[in-house]
Amino acid sequence: MAEIIEQEKGKKGGKRRPKKQSTRIDMTPMVDLMCLLITFFMLTTAFSKPKVMVITMPEKKTDIKEPEVKIPAWRTLNILLSENDVVYYYIGNADPKKPPLPTLIKSDFSKDGIRKVLLDKNKDLFTQIFTFREKRLSGKLVVADTTADQEIKKMKKNDMKGPIILIKADDKAKYKDIVNIIDEMAICNIASYAVVDITTIELGMLKTAPK
């Protein structure tokens, strides 16, 4: 410790003087205590609050039949999630009445995996939103956060070329796969996507898909 106890040198003879008492207070125990307290607080407190990702699910079907919205087949991109973090995708619909069934293409969650496909499909909108954000960051465009959000929302709404993505997962998929894929949607600025139930046809397609 910081305190070093000086040993009294035994002096032979001489006058006995009263010991000189130091006016200083030894702070070391106090420092020790403070250290302990700080460590305790550091360990027990939660600094960073958890972040959340908001997802809105399509409302469950009720008895009232709503007019079905026709989606052009070339815009639909189906993403199927299965075990071992593998992602499969196909374009269009899988309709058993109209064979042949589309083939599944295998992909993954890496940078060159599904993200490349999504970016390629969503090229226009991504570029639009990206340049808008860049402009704000560089200071060329000064708008409030809320207006910027609205602007981006408008861009997404007006987008008529971007993909419409249907995310489907089978029973073997992990929760993190779903989170990852929704995250990819956010990264690639996809305007419309939904998490929907997997169909039996698609389950069959997954069985024959390349491993």
Partner 1 sequence: MPKIKAPVRSPHIDMTPMVDLFSVLLIFLLLTASFRPQEATVITSPASISEKQAPDKDIMTIIINKEGKIFFNIDNGKDSAKHTRMDVLTEMGKQYNITFTPKELNDFGHWASFGMPMTDFKKWLNSKDSKEKEALQTGIPIDSVGTQPSQLFYWVRFSRLANPNAEVAIKGDGETNYKKVKLVMDLLQDNKVNKFNLVTNMEKQEVTLKDVPK
Give residues in contact with partner 1 (CB under 8 A): 2-4, 6, 24, 26-28, 30-31, 34-35, 37-38, 41-42, 44-47, 49-60, 81, 111, 115-116, 119-120, 123, 126-127, 130-131, 169, 171-180, 182-183, 186-188
Could you give the 3-state DSSP secondary structure of residue 87?
strand
Nearer to partner 1, 48 or 99 (CB): 48
**Which H helix or E strand runs over 57?**
none
Nearer to partner 1, 26 or 95 (CB): 26
State the minimum distance, in angstroms, from the CB of residue 170 to partner 1. 8
State the minimum distance, in angstroms, from the CB of residue 163 to partner 1. 14
d(CA 123, CA 119): 5
Nearer to partner 1, 15 or 111 (CB): 111
Decide if 104 contacts 209 (C-beta within 8 A). Answer: yes
d(CA 69, CA 67): 6
Decide if 89 contacts 114 (C-beta within 8 A). Answer: yes
State the minimum distance, in angstroms, from the CB of residue 69 to partner 1. 18
Nearer to partner 1, 101 or 178 (CB): 178
Widest pairwise Cα distance in the chain? 117
Q: Are strands 105-107 and 164-169 parallel, antiparallel or unpaired?
A: unpaired
d(CA 148, CA 68): 32
State the minimum distance, in angstroms, from the CB of residue 95 to partner 1. 24
Nearer to partner 1, 75 or 101 (CB): 75
State the minimum distance, in angstroms, from the CB of residue 12 to partner 1. 22
